[in-house]
Structure 1
Amino acid sequence: MRGMDSPSNPPHSPAPLDDVKRRLATPVEFIRGVGPGRAQLLERLGLRTANHLLFNFPRDYQDLSDERAIENLQEGQLQSVRGVVTEVAATSSGFGKSRVAVLIADGTGHLRGVWYNQPFMRERFREGMTVLLTATPKLKGLMWEMSHPLVTTLASDEAKIDAKLLPVYSLTEGLSQYHMRRIEQSAVTEFADQLEEVFPPALLKRFQLTPLVESVRAIHQPADREELERARRRFVFQELFVLQLALSIRRSEQRQLKAYELPATPRIDARIRRLLPFELTESQAKAITEISADLALDRPMNRLLQGDVGSGKTIVALYAMLVCVANGRQAALMAPTEILARQHAETLAKLLEESRVEWALLTGGATRSERDDVLRRLADGSLNLVIGTHAVVQEDVKFKELGLVVVDEQHKFGVRQRSALRQGDVAPHYLVMTATPIPRTLSMTLFGDLDISTLQSAPAGRQPINTYLVEADREAKWWHFVRERLNEGRQAFVVAPLVDESENVAAPSVAEAFERLTNGELAAFRVGLLHGRLTSPEKQDVMERFRRGELQVLISTTVIEVGVDVPNASVMTVVGADRFGLAQLHQLRGRVGRGSRAGYCGILLGETNEAARERLDAFAKSTDGFALAELDFALRGPGDLFGTQQHGMPPLRIANLMTDRDVLEEARREAQLLVAADPGLKHADNARLRQQMLTRYGKALELGDVG
C-alpha cells in the first residue's frame, strides 16, 4: 500500500533545508541495489526518488510466526508452508470460469494451492521454484489444500528468513519481491533520518503517535506485530486527519460563498404539490423539509440525497428545481448518461404538462442548431430548467441566473465537475443524489463536505423482487422460466460484466452471452445488445426499441445499472455475478419489478468459489440496499463500491475505512476542532500540515490558498 505525501526537512538534522530536499529527491537509480534497469521498473510504480520509496508502504505482511511442515498442519488457523513446486495445472469451463492448482512438497507431504477465476496465477509458478504459501489450510480427503493463499516467492538465499513479519510490496513485471525488499531496506537505512516531522510535538503527545522517522523504519522493518501496529496507527491517523482537515476547510470555504435565497413559501409549496402524481412518503417529505431550509439561506446548499432503488429521489429533486424556478432563477440537472438524462426528461415532461416552466434537454447527441438554441435561451434567461449530461458543464454553457444544480449519481462526477457551473459572484445551491446507499464511514470521506438526507422507504405500489441463486445443473430450468415470462408478454434483461471475451479476466462477456443465447436458450425471441462501446445514438436506439417492446430481451453490461425504467421488464439474469459488488447487483436488480408485476432475478453461479457463494447468498436473502451496501463495503472496500473512483478524490493509501472507523471518528473530530481554532491553518505549528493537505487534496477539493 502506497504511503503518505511525505514532508522533507527533519528538525533533528543540522543539514540545511535545500540539502535535505536534494537528498530525499535522489533518483532511485543511485540507491544501492537499483541501477538503471530496475529504476525503469520502479518508474512504472510511480517510484522515482528516495522519498517515494520511503513512503511506498508494504501492501501486506507475510506472517511467518507460524510456519509449519505439511505433516504438522492444523485446520482453522493461519499457517505458512514452505515447499518446492512439483506440479502446476490450469483448467477452464463455460462462461469464463477457471481454476489454477499448484502442488508443493516439503519432504513431509504435499499441499495443493487453489485459485478460482484468476488465470494469471498460472504464470507465477514453474516447477522447481521455492515458494511460501500462507492461508488457513483444509484437509480435502488425504490432501491438505489452501484456497487463494498469499504467495511469497523465495530466492535461494532466502531459504532462512529471520524476520517474523516479511513486508510484501506492490510489484511490476520484472521486479521480484526479494529485490524490492532489499531496495526498500537500502532506502530506509540511507534516507529515513532526513525526514521532517509533520505533526507539532503537542499533537504527537496528545494523540500518542510515534515520531515520523521511527514510524517509517517500523512500517518497513517491523520487529513484531506490536511495533507494526504503532507505526501503522500513526500513518492511518495522519492520512485521515489530513483528509478531514481538507474537508473541514472546504466546508468552511463553501459557507463563505453567496447564493440566491430560494424560499419554498406556502404558495409555492402548494403549486408544486398539485403537480405531483402521488402522495409523498414520510422520508420524501422529511428530505424536502431539509432541502427547503437550505435553499432559503443566502449561502449555497451542499446536500447529498441518498436512497435505495425506487425510493423516489427524482421527485424530491424535481421539487427542489421547481422551488428554484418559482423564485425566478434557473436550475440544471446533470445525469451521467444520455439514457438517464432522457429518462429524467420524460418524467419532467409528464409532471410539467400543465405548467408554464420552460425546460430543455442538452446532451452530447444534440445537433448544432439544437445546442445553439438551448445555449441562447439559457444565456438570456428564457429557459428556466435544463436537463443534460456532461454537455451542461462545457465552457460555452452560460446561465443568466443559475440558482440550483442537481447532480444525479454523484460518484460519476468529481468535485470539480460539481462546481464547474459556478459563474459570477453568486454560487448555485447543490443537491447531489445517489441510488447507492453510502456507509457512514464512506460518507465522512468521499462526501465529508456535504450534508446528507436519506430516503428510507419506497413509494407505495413498488413490486417485490424475488432473487434466486441458480446452480449450474439448474440453469436449464431457469431459462425455461425466463421463456415462460417472455411468452406471457414480459421482457427480460441479461447482464454480463465484460463487453468482449478477455484473456486476462476470467469473466463472461455480453458478446459471448449474445452468441450463446441467440443460438440456444433464447433463439426464438427478439434479442438486443447494449454496452458502453456503442455510440450514443446506437445506445439510445437499442433502449428505445426495448422500451417500446420491439426487443423482448436486452443483453447488457452495467450501462443499465442506474435509472433505466422499463415497467414491462420483470426478469433479470446475471452471469458472472461474482465480478460485481453487492451494491452494484442491487442496482441492477432494481431494473425489474418496476411495473404491475413482481420481479425475478436469477444469479447463475457456475463454478463460483465458496467465499463468493456466501456473498451472493447474502444478496439473495436481502432487499435492503443499506444493509447490502454496508456488507459490500466490509467485503470489498470503497474502491469497488464506487467502481473507477470517478468522484475525483485520491484513494486512501493505508487507512482501511472498515477497520479504522474509530480512528476516522477521532481524526474527524480533532480536524474540525483544529480548523475552528485556526481556520486557515495559519499558525506556524500547523504550516507543514497545511502544506501536506494542499499537496494531497488542494486540487481535488478546489481548496483556496487557505490563508
Structure 2
Amino acid sequence: MTYYPRRHYDRGTIRPIAEARPGAAVTILGTVASMRSRRTARRYMHLFELKIEDMSGSIAAVWFNQPFLERTFRVGDEVIVTGPVGVFDRLQIQPVEYEILGGDREPIHAAGLVPSYAVPAGFGPKAFRSLVFSAVREHAAEVPEAIPAELRARRKLVGAAEAIGHIHFPDDLRAYEAARRRLAYEEFLLLQTHLALRRRSVREEPVGVPLRIGRTLDFRIRARFPFALTRAQERVIGEIRRDLAADRPMNRLLQGDVGSGKTIVAAYALLAAIGNRAQAALMAPTEILAEQHARTFGRLLERTRVRTALLTGGRAKREREAAGEADLVIGTHALLEGDVKFRKLAVVVVDEQQKFGVLQRAAMRLKGPRLRDAGAVASAALARPHTLVMTATPIPRTLSMTLYGDLDVSILDELPPGRRPVVTLRKREADTVAFVRQKLREGRQAFFVYPLIDDSDKVAAKSATAMSARLRAELPEFRVELLHGRMKPQEKDAIMEEFRSGAIRALVSTVVVEVGIDVPNASVMVIGNAERYGLAQLHQLRGRIGRGPHESYCVVLSDRAGEEAEARLRAFLSTADGFKIAEADMKIRGPGELFGTRQSGMPEFRAADPVSDLQLLAWAREDAFALVERDPALASAPALAEMVGRKYRARESLVAVG
C-alpha cells in the first residue's frame, strides 16, 4: 500500500454515448450488444469490434491486431471504455483502456483518476492495479496512525486510512492532493523526529572535550592569520567558540561559497585544540586537497613548535602510527586506518564532507580520547571530539533541514575583501585558444579541464591527453602540461609545484583540480564538454580562479548539450552565487540525485518533495522538535515512536556524524 503510483491518468467522467463527439476523448459506460472479428481488405489487419449501447444510443468500439479480445468479452457484459472518438462510416471509439464490470467490482481501470505504477516484473498494469486495489480495500483501515491527533488537527490533515485510499484511488484531484499532503507531512515528521532525537542524544552526552579559549589564546590564534576577518567569519568563529567551551561535543556544519574563507574559520577551531594541549585532525577527500591544506597550515604555523603530520594513502605503518602523536594531523581517508591512534583528539574538521560517506565520518568521531578520570561514567568510555564538517557545495535550505537537521549550521555569506567576481562566458573553441593566448602573454596562467583522461570510442567527449598535445602545438611559446588522477602522487606533486611557481603556464587536467588548488596567478578556467558536468562541479571548477588581483574568466565549451544540460549551463552562466546555483541544481535534478542518496544519507521520499513541499517540511520540523523537547520518550505518540525506530534503526549507530 506504500507503493504509490507514479501518476494518475484522468479518464474523465462517464458520459452518455449520445454526447460523444468526433475528435473528443470520452469515457462511456454501456452494454455489449454484439461483437465481431474480421480482416481488413487493404492491409489484412485483424479488426475486433464491439457494439456498445446505453440508454442514449450506441457506438462501435474498435481494436486492431488484438485477436485475444474475442475471448475477453461476451454479449451482455457491462463495460467502460475510454478513448478518442472518430467517424468511419459510423461513430466509433478506439479504446486506450477498457474495463468489464460485474458483481460488486468498482471501475478502477477506465474511469476517473486511474493510477499508473512502475509495475514490478511478472505483473501487467491491470493485474497490479487490481492487486493494489484489493490490498487498499481490505487493509487500509489497519494502517497505523503515526501523526498524533493534535498535529493532524493543527495542520488540517486527513487520517491515515483515508490518505492511503486516496493516494491510490482518489475520487477527484482535491482528494488526491489532500492524501499526498498528509503522507508527505508524515514522511517529513518521521525524519524530523529522528533528527530531533539524534540532536538531543548528542547534547545530553557529557563526553566532549571542553576547550578553554581565553583572551591570550584568542590573540595568539588571530596573530597567525594573514588578513583581517570578515564579519561573517567573526560571527561563525563566535558560534564555534561557544561550542568548543562546552562539555558536549560540537556537531556543526559550516557552509560557505567558494572563496568565502572557510579554511581560516576551521583553522581557529584546530588551533584552539592545540592551544589546549590536545590534538586536532583535518580530513580531506583527495591527496591534492590534503597537501594544499598542509601547505596552508605550514605557512600559518611557521616558527612555532606545533608538530604537524600529513597522512595520505600508501604511507607505511610506522608513519601512520607516528602521525597519531602529532599536534595537527592532516590527511585523507588514511586517517581512518586502525593503526592511527590519537593521544587526545579534541577537534575534527572534515572538509568537502559531501565526498565522504556517513560511515567514514562516523569512524573519525570514534577516534576521541579514552576517559581515564575515575569520576567518568566508565573508565574505558570514549570522549567525542568536537566535529566541524565543511562544504563548499552550498546546500539549499530545504536540504539543509532534510539532511542535516540534527546539526547546528553556520553560514559564511560574505566574501573576503579583494575577491573579484569571475566573468563567466560561453565561447567557441577556436576563439577560446586565442583568448587564452592573450591572457598568457599578459603573464597569467590558465586551467583547461576535460572530462576524460584518454579518448574513448564510447563517449563523445574530448580527452585531457589529446587536448594537451593539441594545446602544446597551438601555444608553442608557453609550457603546457597534463595532470590526471592516474599519475603517481610524486608526478602530480611535481606538476602542481611547477604550476604554482609559474613555470607551467597552462595546466590541462581532468576534474582532479575540482578542489584544493590555490594558484592566485591563474585567471582563466576553460571547461571542455561542460554539458557533462553537474552545476555544483562547474561551480567548484570556477572557484579555482579569481583568487588573485587580476580579472578572471571562466569559459565553458559545449556544442552538444541536451535539454537538461542546457538548463544547467544557463543557470551557471546567470549567477556566481553558490546558493542560487544549488537551488537551481536541485530543481533540475531533484534532491536525491543531487546528493546521492546512498552516500550522503539523503532519505528517500515516496510522497514528499523537499523543494515544492517546503512549508510542510518546516511545519514537520517545528512539530517534531517541539514534541521531542516536551516528550523525549515519545510516550504520548507510541505509533510515531515505533515507526521512527523501524525506519531509522539502521542509522542509529551513526548518531551525530552529520
Contact 1:261 1:295 survives alignment (8 Å): yes
Please give the alpha-carbon distance, in whole angstroms, between the structure 2 residues aligned to 1:492 and 1:522.
16
Contact 1:510 1:557 survives alignment (8 Å): no
Q: Within 5 Å, which residues of 2 pair with 1:437-476?
A: 437-470=394-427, 474-476=428-430
Contact 2:362 2:654 survives alignment (8 Å): no
Q: Structure 1 residues 404-413 or 341-350, which shifts more?
A: 404-413
User: Is structure 2 residue 513 aligned with structure 1 residue 565?
Assistant: no
1:30-70 Cα deviation digits (max 9, x unpaired): xxxxxxxxxxxxxxxxxxxxxxxx2222334445669x999
User: Is structure 2 residue 115 aligned with structure 1 residue 158?
Assistant: no
Q: Name 2:171's counterpart in structure 1.
A: 223
Which letter does structure 2 place at the counterpart of 1:490? Answer: R
Please give the alpha-carbon distance, in whole angstroms, between the structure 1 residues aligned to 2:437 and 2:121.
48
User: Which of the residues 231, 234, 246 maps onto 1:285?
Assistant: 234
User: Which of the residues 167, 174, 177 maps onto 2:115?
Assistant: 167
Please give the alpha-carbon distance, in whole angstroms, between the structure 1 residues aligned to 2:227 and 2:221.
12
Can you give the 5+ residue segments of structure 1 that lack an aligned partner in the other structure? Answer: 1-53, 74-127, 130-154, 378-382
Please give the alpha-carbon distance, in whole angstroms, between the structure 2 residues aligned to 1:174 and 1:579.
36
Q: Within 5 Å, which residues of 2 pair with 1:680-691?
A: 680-681=633-634, 683=635, 685-691=636-642
User: Which of the residues 366, 380, 396 maps onto 2:339?
Assistant: 396
1:276: how far off?
A: 1.2
The SS at the match of 2:599 is: coil
Q: Name 2:306's counterpart in structure 1.
A: 357
Which letter does structure 1 place at the counterpart of 2:417? Answer: A
Q: Within 5 Å, which residues of 2 pair with 1:384-533?
A: 384-420=327-363, 421-422=365-366, 423=368, 424=370, 425=381, 426-470=383-427, 474-497=428-451, 508-509=460-461, 511=463, 514-515=465-466, 518-519=469-470, 523-524=474-475, 527-531=480-484
Please give the alpha-carbon distance, in whole angstroms, between the structure 1 residues aligned to 2:589 and 2:319.
44
The percentage of counterpart residues that share the same residue type is 48
1:256-276 Cα deviation digits (max 9, x unpaired): 122122122110111111111
1:616: how far off?
A: 2.6
Please give the alpha-carbon distance, in whole angstroms, between the structure 2 residues aligned to 1:494 and 1:177.
50
Which letter does structure 2 place at the counterpart of 1:559? Answer: V
User: Is structure 2 residue 287 aligned with structure 1 residue 338?
Assistant: yes
User: Is structure 2 residue 210 aligned with structure 1 residue 267?
Assistant: no
1:241-269 Cα deviation digits (max 9, x unpaired): 01111111111011112212212211011
RMSD of aligned Cα (Å):
3.4
1:313: how far off?
A: 0.7
Q: Name 2:377's counterpart in structure 1.
A: none
1:192: how far off?
A: 4.3
Q: Name 2:266's counterpart in structure 1.
A: 317
1:386: how far off?
A: 0.8
TM-score, normalised with respect to structure 1 = 0.71
Q: Name 1:626's counterpart in structure 2.
A: 579
Q: Within 5 Å, which residues of 2 pair with 1:632-643?
A: 632-643=585-596
Contact 1:469 1:617 survives alignment (8 Å): no
Q: Name 2:86's counterpart in structure 1.
A: none
Q: Structure 1 residues 287-296 or 213-222, which shifts more?
A: 213-222
Contact 2:472 2:480 survives alignment (8 Å): no
Distance 1:176 1:605, change over 3 A: farther
The SS at the match of 1:339 is: helix
User: Is structure 2 residue 557 aligned with structure 1 residue 604?
Assistant: yes
1:289-344 Cα deviation digits (max 9, x unpaired): 11111111111111111111111110111111111111111111111111111110
TM-score, normalised with respect to structure 2 = 0.76
Please give the alpha-carbon distance, in whole angstroms, between the structure 1 residues aligned to 2:223 and 2:593.
41
The SS at the match of 1:419 is: helix
1:72-116 Cα deviation digits (max 9, x unpaired): 99xxxxxxxxxxxxxxxxxxxxxxxxxxxxxxxxxxxxxxxxxxx
Please give the alpha-carbon distance, in whole angstroms, between the structure 2 residues aligned to 1:70 and 1:641.
46
Which letter does structure 1 place at the counterpart of 2:426? Answer: L
Contact 2:437 2:475 survives alignment (8 Å): no
User: Is structure 2 residue 207 aligned with structure 1 residue 254?
Assistant: no
Contact 1:567 1:593 survives alignment (8 Å): yes
1:71: how far off?
A: 8.4
The SS at the match of 2:580 is: helix
Distance 1:186 1:333, change over 3 A: same
User: Is structure 2 residue 247 aligned with structure 1 residue 298?
Assistant: yes
1:277: how far off?
A: 1.0
Distance 1:692 1:282, change over 3 A: same
Please give the alpha-carbon distance, in whole angstroms, between the structure 1 residues aligned to 2:455 and 2:156.
52
Which letter does structure 2 place at the counterpart of 1:58? Answer: P
Contact 1:650 1:700 survives alignment (8 Å): no
Contact 1:562 1:587 survives alignment (8 Å): yes
Contact 1:198 1:688 survives alignment (8 Å): yes
Q: Structure 1 residues 364-373 or 181-190, which shifts more?
A: 181-190
Can you give the 5+ residue segments of structure 2 that lack an aligned partner in the other structure? Answer: 14-19, 26-64, 67-93, 100-108, 371-380
The SS at the match of 2:637 is: helix
